[in-house]
């Protein structure tokens, strides 16, 4: 009977609140719910997968600000735990569940942010490279990577730093809620404390501070870059440099962003991250770490491709290498800790069109395909011969991208009202590639909207068309309208990648140019869409400085174009227009005589 009673107790639900407690955790207080005060994680937080934190001797505490509570309740935060608890995740042949973290809760009840990490004691910096999931003596070592000594098995990594705010660990939650869905390269939240360098945690806090009204990114900006650069080569350092590249570009610190990307690319090549065998060799038998390493290389591929198109990077080097790294898996599988034993390759993705049966690939695979198309457009701008054939071939590639999208990828909004942010970017990039291809070959370049350089365009002269100027213009306007449609999705725009700002700049320029040059000859560029775009710039400007500069300049051009209407055309034989410095020195792109005093 005693044994039977013990078994029943162990199988009972973990959360059974009996009575209110005088000391409740912050999560239960904010939601005005009863808390059983169990340490380190109360029963309610354990059952819902919520980060549990107690603040002693603070009677009357009202929780964080209202905005932060709203941001903290992202549905994406509990997707993995909810599906696992509900029994919706089935183990399919070829999938592998990540091994549990020693001493942690089961995957179905793991908290969003591991309490063991929050309560850790600060270890010496030289011990903070990563936290292995097995004893350090059994961890594989290589000569290609020279990290500092691994932390002992009982030494957890602290999230507090003398260079950061006290009690700022919530910023890591903000990072996962607001930034990670658009650039999901780090381990999912439930596996956070497996391989976490201290300096990478600081980068995550730096990013999270951009989204939090109660924290300032400047607190971390002074030291975060130098701290990362001082670390020995490792995949985690590449991840940190890559994340800093994205954020600094979005802060309008584009020159330093380009330098950090160059460092990340050089280190990735030195480590061999572009090789198929890298993830298996350095994954330490952990499928989550292997997937994270593969995603890191492909994120480098994506970011380098976009920054090359923006003129920040001179050449798209990753696209010139053999694309042998397996493609990332679907995002929900990654979040749930399920990874395929054998991941598909780029060659298999390319051959899907001629397969007997339709094969669905991950959103990440289509995002990579979109950037490959963008790379071909950028490369075409350097070619002199055979441009006509290449333009027609790339245009066919863009059209086939949409024709071959599976039905599951055409709808970006999920049933839980969240957006597939990775597929969102794929749509954004492929439409941006269409603009880069057709806009310089159209008859829209005589507009004052393109009288100067644009950060979101590659510099180039007016091109000879493969077909009529008007056909190029129509294709550019169509792509611009598609990007505007992405902005119309009813979702917090700050959760989109900050590179969406650059895509909206392209869209705005094309629509304003069409309004100026082709008034009454082409479909109306929809003033409402321009109004929407300015609104998105305003909203994203609260997080990213680059959006504030863009908004001011788009407003100036829109005022000029919409008031003047049809502009005199310019002799196309004498056109020599650059359009890549929209944000350079915060200068307006209108001719001096056009700017009203």
**Separation in Å, CA 336 to CA 26, 107, 110, 133, 296:** 26, 8, 11, 18, 18
Q: Which tokens go with 306?
A: 């976009």
- What are the extents of the domains in the chain? 14-63, 65-87+95-134+144-323, 350-594
Q: What is the mean pLDDT of residues 28-50?
A: 78
Q: Cis check for the bond before 55: say yes or no (omega within 30 of 0).
A: no
**What is the CA angle 416-63-159, rounded to 5?**
85
What whole-number distance in Å separates Cα of residue 451 and Cα of residue 218?
Answer: 35
Residue 538: per-residue pLDDT: 94
| 3-state SS, residue 96 | strand
Q: Worst-scoring range by mean pLDDT, 227-236, 438-447, 475-484?
A: 438-447
- What does the buried/exposed string (b/e) look like for 212-244 if buried means 16 or more CB atoms within 10 Å of the residue's CB? beebebebbeebbbebbeebebbbbbbbbbbbb
H or E element in which residue 340 lies = strand 338-340
Of 273, 339, 323, the residue nearest 98 (C-alpha) = 339
- Residues near 26 by beta carbon (within 8 Å), at least 6 away in sequence: 53, 54, 55, 61, 63, 64
Residue 452: per-residue pLDDT: 44
Q: Which architecture does CATH list for 14-63?
A: Irregular (4.10)
What whole-number distance in Å separates Cα of residue 445 and Cα of residue 115?
Answer: 57
H or E element in which residue 249 lies = helix 235-250
E strand intervals along 67-124: 95-97
What whole-number distance in Å separates Cα of residue 197 and Cα of residue 240?
Answer: 10
Residue 579: per-residue pLDDT: 41
- Please write the tens of the pLDDT for every residue from 214-256: 999 999 999 999 999 999 999 999 999 999 999 999 999 999 9
| 3-state SS, residue 492 | coil
- Please write the tens of the pLDDT for every residue from 138-150: 333 333 343 333 3
- Please write the tens of the pLDDT for every residue from 531-564: 899 999 999 999 999 998 888 888 888 887 776 4
CB atoms within 10 A of CB 120: 17
- Please write the tens of the pLDDT for every residue from 373-383: 999 999 987 77
Share of the chain above pLDDT 70, in %: 66
Quick check: 190 and 98 in contact, CB under 8 A? Answer: no
pLDDT of 387 above 90:
no
């Amino acid at each position: 009977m005693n044994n039977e009673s013990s078994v029943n107790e162990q199988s009972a639900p973990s959360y059974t609140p009996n009575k209110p407690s005088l000391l409740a955790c912050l999560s239960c207080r904010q939601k005005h719910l009863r808390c059983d005060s169990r340490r380190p994680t109360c029963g309610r937080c354990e059952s819902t997968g919520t980060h549990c934190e107690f603040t002693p001797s603070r009677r009357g505490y009202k929780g964080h600000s209202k905005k932060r509570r709203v941001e903290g309740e992202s549905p994406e935060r509990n997707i993995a735990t909810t599906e696992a608890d509900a029994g919706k995740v089935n183990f399919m042949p070829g999938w592998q569940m990540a091994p549990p973290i020693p001493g942690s809760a089961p995957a179905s009840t793991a908290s969003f942010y591991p309490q063991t990490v929050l309560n850790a004691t600060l270890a010496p910096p030289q011990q903070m490279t990563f936290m292995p999931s097995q004893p350090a003596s059994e961890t594989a070592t290589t000569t290609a990577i020279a990290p500092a000594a691994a932390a002992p098995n009982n030494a957890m990594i602290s999230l507090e730093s003398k260079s950061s705010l006290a009690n700022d660990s919530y910023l890591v939650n903000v990072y996962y809620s607001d930034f990670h869905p658009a650039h999901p390269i780090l381990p999912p939240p439930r596996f956070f404390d497996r391989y976490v360098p201290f300096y990478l945690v600081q980068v995550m806090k730096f990013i999270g501070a951009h989204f939090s009204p109660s924290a300032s990114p400047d607190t971390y900006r002074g030291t975060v870059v130098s701290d990362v650069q001082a670390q020995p080569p490792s995949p985690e350092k590449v991840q940190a440099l890559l994340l800093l590249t994205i954020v600094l570009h979005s802060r309008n610190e584009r020159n330093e962003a380009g330098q950090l990307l160059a460092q990340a690319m050089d280190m990735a090549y030195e480590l061999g991250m572009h090789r198929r065998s890298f993830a298996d060799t350095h994954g330490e038998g952990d499928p989550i770490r292997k997937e994270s390493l593969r995603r890191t290389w492909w994120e480098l591929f994506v970011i380098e491709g976009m920054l090359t198109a923006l003129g920040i990077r001179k050449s798209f080097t990753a696209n010139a290498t053999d694309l042998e790294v397996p493609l990332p898996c679907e995002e929900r599988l990654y979040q749930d800790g399920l990874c395929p034993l054998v991941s598909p390759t780029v060659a298999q993705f390319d051959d899907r069109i001629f397969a007997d049966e339709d094969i669905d690939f991950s959103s990440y695979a289509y995002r990579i395909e979109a950037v490959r198309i963008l790379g071909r457009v950028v490369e075409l701008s350097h070619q002199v011969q055979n441009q006509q054939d290449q333009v027609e071939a790339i245009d066919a590639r863009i059209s086939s991208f949409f024709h071959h999208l599976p039905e599951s990828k055409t709808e970006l909004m999920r049933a839980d009202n969240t957006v597939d942010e990775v597929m969102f970017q794929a749509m954004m990039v492929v439409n941006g590639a269409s603009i880069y291809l057709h806009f310089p070959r159209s008859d829209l370049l005589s507009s004052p909207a393109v009288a100067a350089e644009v950060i979101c365009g590659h510099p180039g002269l007016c091109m000879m068309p493969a077909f009529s100027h008007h056909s190029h213009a129509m294709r550019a306007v169509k792509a611009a309208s598609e990007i505007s449609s992405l902005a119309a999705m009813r979702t917090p725009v700050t959760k989109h990648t900050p590179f969406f700002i650059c895509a909206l700049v392209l869209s705005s320029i094309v629509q304003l140019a069409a309004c100026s040059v082709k008034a009454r000859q082409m479909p109306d560029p929809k003033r409402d869409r321009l109004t929407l775009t300015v609104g998105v710039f305003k909203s994203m400007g609260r997080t990213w400085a680059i959006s504030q500069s863009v908004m001011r300049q788009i407003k100036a051009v829109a005022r000029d174009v919409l008031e003047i209407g049809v502009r005199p055309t310019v002799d196309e034989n004498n056109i020599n227009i650059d359009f890549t410095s929209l944000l350079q020195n915060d200068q307006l792109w209108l001719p001096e005589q056009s700017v009203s005093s």
